Structure 1
Amino acid sequence: MHKYTLQPYQGMQSRHTCPACNSRKTFTRYIDTDTGETLAPHAGKCDRADNCGYHYTPRQLFEEVGSAK
């Protein structure tokens, strides 16, 4: 099992506004499977694959954080 996964659907409260296209209720955040906590608010995937295609992975997040040190 992966350490980070997209948050399972638990109703519309588990979907957020996409940081790229600003479409409401279309963005799924990544969560830590050990703690259940979400990662950074911009780490996730937009459901509008054809129109937006935004997908910011945990790997990208940790590479960004690592390069900021």
Structure 2
Amino acid sequence: MLPVHERLAELWVLRQSRQLTAAEQTDYEHCLAFNASYCRELAHLKNMSLLASMTSDTQWQHELCGKIEKLSRR
């Protein structure tokens, strides 16, 4: 889990009990935008990995899996 996901969860919990401050709301929106970008990039890499697998391009698939691992560890 990335720190941004922890912050997003924290802000979500706060939203359940009170209104977020302006700074928290800005933080929340930044976290949501980052999360959307992160999910999109990860999905793209996974789709390309599937394509590599379907075309038996082992070298490309290994490269993509390395990128997926690296992105997941950020």
TM-score (norm 1): 0.26
**Which of these two proteins has the greater Rg computed from alpha carbons?**
2
Work out which structure has the larger RCO, using CA pairs closer than 8 Å and 6 or more positions apart in sequence.
2
The structure with the largest strand share of the pair is 1
Structure number with higher helix proportion: 2
| TM-score normalised to structure 2 length | 0.24
